[in-house]
Each structure stands twice: as C-alpha cells, then as structure tokens.
Amino acid sequence: MRFSALIVLCAPLGAAFAQGAAKQAGAAAMPPVSMTEAEQIAAAVLPLPAEARASAKVLGYRNGSPALVTLREGKVFTCFLPEPDGKRGYHAACYHQALEPFMARGRALRASGTKDEQVDTVRFAEVKAGKLEMPKQPASMYQLFGGKFDPAANTVTGAQPLIVVYISGATGATTGLPEKPSENGMWIMYPGTPKAHIMLSPKM
C-alpha cells in the first residue's frame, strides 16, 4: 500500500501481540462449534465502521465442515472469524478486498500444511516473482480481539481494536514513520516487506 490520509488505529497492545494478530488475520480457522451462519455474519462484521458492515462480504463455515466458504457476498471488505469456536476468546477480522490475493494465498498455504513461519517466506517470494499481487493503493484491515460476543444483542463487550493500513514495501525512510512500536503514535510494522503496514495508537 502507499501512505495516504487513511487513519490507522490500534490498541496499545505491544509488538508481540500485534504480530500475532496480523498472523491470525490470514490464518485458516477451525470450524465453528455452535455459531449459526447468521451469528457468524453478525460477529464477523463488528470490527468495521457501522456504515460498512451491511455491505461486507463474509466468509465462514457450514455444517461443521472445515472448508471456509462464502456465507454472504459483499463489497469493499471481507470479514471472517479466525477463532470461530471462541475457545480463545472473540476475534473478528475484516480486510479490504484488495488484500484478498495475499490473504487467500496464506489460507491456502496453511491448509496445505505449510507451517506458519514459512507462509510469509513463500508469499514474499511470490510477490517478488510477480506471481502474487499486493494492493497498489492503501488497504485497511480492522480487527477486534478478546471480549465476548452476545448473539442475542449482536454486540461484543471487552474487545480490543487493532486497525492497520497495509502499505506494501514501506519503510521508515519512505514514510518518515518510526519502525519501532509506539503506544503514542504511528509506526511501520514489517518494514520493507510486502505486508508492511502502518499502525497508530488510538491515544492520539
């Protein structure tokens, strides 16, 4: 992505947590234990601004199958639950559809048995070789972690936001932003890589 006026928000979670969150957003998930399709859709879109939820595409699971399928067609954003069974707490992720090739490739690699630590190695090599396309413009990803989803009220309580903007290949030098984590300002995560992205503390 390229830097723009898009605002990037994240909770002051620390670098280690943020790295784990970014990895989970592209991970293949286990099938849900008890959530209906309607509940999956309602829970998955909550990280987005309210005006974007109704139109977002939603991925999820049917009939206990481990295959991730489209539960609802949509536009602009794709949402899903990386932790649909809720065993490790509520987690929902929504990414701009310009990121779909990169995210889908990550899911496919994990489904084929590629270990997490090798997924980016493969994807980065494919981006370099021109086999995998990254967005040419900024592309945002919204996430919520933790808390508890109430399907009856269609709300989640106690969750932490993590919202970033991918800016592929960006570095501190190209953006003027620091490359070290900060709880009080923007910084570049994974600088110089295809999945470089800007993070910003909501304390600002």
77-121 tens-digit pLDDT? 999 998 777 677 789 999 999 999 999 999 999 989 999 999 999
Average pLDDT of the chain to the nearest whole number: 83
Average confidence (pLDDT) over 172-192: 91
- % residues pLDDT > 70 (the chain): 81
Q: What is the pLDDT of residue 21?
A: 46
Residue 87 phi, psi dihedral angles, 5° rounding: -65, -30
Contact between 43 and 149 under an 8 Å Cβ cutoff? The reply is: yes
Residue 7 confidence (pLDDT) above 70: no
Q: How confident is the model at residue 45 (pLDDT cuts 50, 70, 90)?
A: very high
Q: pLDDT: is 22 or 60 the higher one?
A: 60
Angle at 74 between CA 41 and CA 86, to 5 degrees: 20
Q: What is the pLDDT of residue 18?
A: 44
Burial class (CB in 10 A: 0-12, 13-18, 19+), 51: exposed
The predicted model scores a pTM of: 0.82
DSSP string, 156-179: EES-EEEEEEE-TT--HHHHS--S
Q: How confident is the model at residue 142 (pLDDT cuts 50, 70, 90)?
A: very high
- Who's near 44: CB < 8 A, 6+ residues apart? 56, 58, 59, 60, 79, 80, 81, 92, 93, 94
Q: Buried b / exposed e across 17-29, counting CB within 10 Å, b at 16+?
A: bbeebbbbbbeeb
Per-residue pLDDT reduced to its tens digit, 57-80: 999 998 877 788 999 999 999 999
Residue 202 confidence (pLDDT) above 50: yes
DSSP string, 30-95: PPPSS--HHHHHHHHTTTS-HHHHTT-EEEE-STT-SS-EEEE--SSEEEE-SSTT-TT--EEEEE
Q: What is the pLDDT of residue 102?
A: 96
In Å, how far are 47, 67, 150 from 30, measured between CA atoms?
A: 20, 9, 20
Q: What is the pLDDT of residue 64?
A: 77
Average confidence (pLDDT) over 190-203: 86
